[in-house]
Structure 1
Amino acid sequence: MKKVFLVMALAVLAVACMRLPQVPTLDEFSLPVAGEKTEWISTDYEGKPVLIVFMGSWCPYCKMSMPFIDAANENFGGQVEIVSAFLDDDPADVAKVVKEHNFKTKALYNASNIAESMEVSGLPHVVVFDKKHNAVKMWEGFSPELGQEIHDYLKKVSK
């Protein structure tokens, strides 16, 4: 009986020590908007789905995804808050790539800490948060199908 109790106690302890995967949430944070003297504040969009694309001005795949993100913003911008969050610290680097690619989606910068807290490990990294600001869908990396996948998913979430 003591052995059974000991095995059960060790099993409970092992489970308690395991790092359970957590669904990222859109916690309260603010980031500066490139080319503006304003801050984007996550809590301003409570009750509204949010799509954040983590990007880098140096990332070729991020640049390739810009037309997809602009198309999503054009089609769903009224129902879903869509922003790009650049890891760059220098707003001039972000402004330059935004201009070069005629990128119209709101570009935030200085997002390294936010990306780290959400365990972003590759770029581009797209996260969709529902109206309660729980992450419901993520894509990491670029694929030619990314634009269609985002469109199809936002069609469901924006209803």
Structure 2
Amino acid sequence: MKKIFLVMAAALLAAACMRLPQVPTLGEFTLPISGQKTEWTSTDYEGKPVLIVFMGSWCPYCKMAMPFIDAANENFGGQVEIVAAFLDDTPEPVAKAVKEHNFKTKALYNAGNIAESMEVSGLPHVVIFDKKHNAVKMWEGFSPSLGQEIHDYLKKISK
């Protein structure tokens, strides 16, 4: 009986020490917009769903996702705020990637701290936040079906 009690106590202690995944919220932050002298502020979109895709100008998979993000922005940009948040610290590499790939979606930069706070560990990393700015769907990494999956989910929430 003591062994069972000790095993259960150890299991409870281990479970208490484990970090449970948290559903991130959008929070309040401001990032500069590439190619503009203005900034994007998350609180400006309260009451509106937001899709953020974390990217890097150096990331080949992020560049492959750009047409998907532009398509989502073209189809749902009126109902959902869609932005690309580049981890690059400076605007120059972001502007170059945007121009090179004819990327039309609003491109933010210097998003490394925001990505870290949301525990982004791979790129591209797409997060959809609902009207209350709670994360409701996430994708990490690139797949050929990513564009269709994003489209289908945005169609469902924008009804």
Q: TM-score by structure 1 length?
A: 0.92
The CA deviation string for residues 63-118 of structure 1, in whole angstroms up to 9 with x for no partner, is 11100000000000000000000000110110011011110000000000000111
**Number of residue pairs matched by the alignment:** 159
Aligned equivalents of 1:158, 1:5: Cα separation in 2: 51
How high is the sequence identity, in percent, across the aligned residues?
87
Distance 1:5 1:105 in 2: 58
Deviations 1:104-134 (A, max 9, x none): 0000000000001111111111000111111
For residue 121 of structure 1, what is the aligned residue in structure 2? 121
Alignment correspondent of 2:45:
45
Shift in Å, 1:21: 1.1
CA RMSD of aligned residues (A): 1.7
Residues 8-87 of structure 1 aligned to structure 2 (within 5 Å): 13-87=13-87
Distance 1:140 1:15 in 2: 26
Aligned to 1:63, the other structure's residue is in SS state helix
Hey, what's the Cα distance between the residues in 2 that align with 1:136 and 1:152?
Answer: 14
The change in CA–CA distance for 1:74 and 1:8 in structure 2 (over 3 A counts) is: same
Tell me: CA distance 1:6–1:145, structure 2 relative to 1, closer, same or farther (3 Å): closer
Q: Give the equivalent residue in structure 2 for 1:106.
A: 106
- In the alignment, the residues of structure 1 paired with residue 146 and residue 16 of structure 2 have an alpha-carbon distance, to the nearest angstrom, of 37
Rounded to whole Å, the distance in 1 between the matches of 2:3 and 2:146 is: 53
Report the TM-score, using the length of structure 2 for normalisation. Answer: 0.92
Gaps of 5+ in 1: none
